[in-house]
Amino acid sequence: MPARFVYWMNVSLDLKIERDRDEDGSGDWMSIDEAIHLVFNARAAGLTHMVQGRKVYEAMEQYWPAVREDPSQPAFARAYGEIWTSMPKTLVSRSRTNADYNTQIIGDRAMDRLAALRAESTGDIGVGGADVASQMLLAGLLDELLLFTHPVILGRGRPVFDAYDEPIKLNLLEQAAYPGGVTMHRYAIDYPAVAS
């Protein structure tokens, strides 16, 4: 069975992933405490691979390797730093030519190469970044959404996906609620049938 591409994102109640340009996952509107981080750690540790767009990758690259090595950081944060740095990763970027932390880079023909990665892999492959996820959705490559919804309305900002021409139905696979008001919904993507 081929792998599944799972787009994982923190979102507001109005489905924004950032309020201000280039927040890069650091918006103070998110309610991420130790309990939520332990959920993130467990899910991330269960991945077999990660695919990230350049903006997400560079935000992670600037933060998590240092946290992993910092004894002043809490154990759950150091653990996530270890998961991220050790996990096999694919960076989708036309501008980067090198990357550390167990990372390969693909630029040209990225969707074809990601399709091959899915076919050759197993398990869940986490996808991070709205740009790459939107391209994958258009290419019919995303299999699931994993959304952690924070109890806030941002009113403006970057949506979880860029514009898409036709509605796409989702099938709810899993849901949970956590102290502090964060909820999780995992969906399978039900792409419209292609007329033959």
Q: Where are the domains of the chain?
A: 4-190
C-alpha torsion 87→66→10→35, nearest 10: 90
In this structure, what token pair is assigned to residue 84? 């991220």
Q: Give me 1's structure tokens.
A: 């069975």
Compute the CA torsion angle 167, 15, 146, 175 (nearest 10 deg): -100
pLDDT in tens, 121-141: 999 999 999 999 999 999 999
The fold for domain 4-190 equals Dihydrofolate Reductase, subunit A (3.40.430)
Confidence of residue 190 (pLDDT cuts 50, 70, 90): very high
Task: For residue 128, give the nearest of 3, 1, 2, 11 by alpha carbon.
Answer: 11
How far apart, in whole angstroms, are the C-alpha atoms of residue 142 and residue 56?
17
CA 174 to CA 43: how far, in whole Å? 13
pTM above 0.75, yes or no: yes
Provide mean pLDDT across the span 66-81: 96
86-114 pLDDT, tens per residue? 999 999 999 999 999 999 999 999 999 99
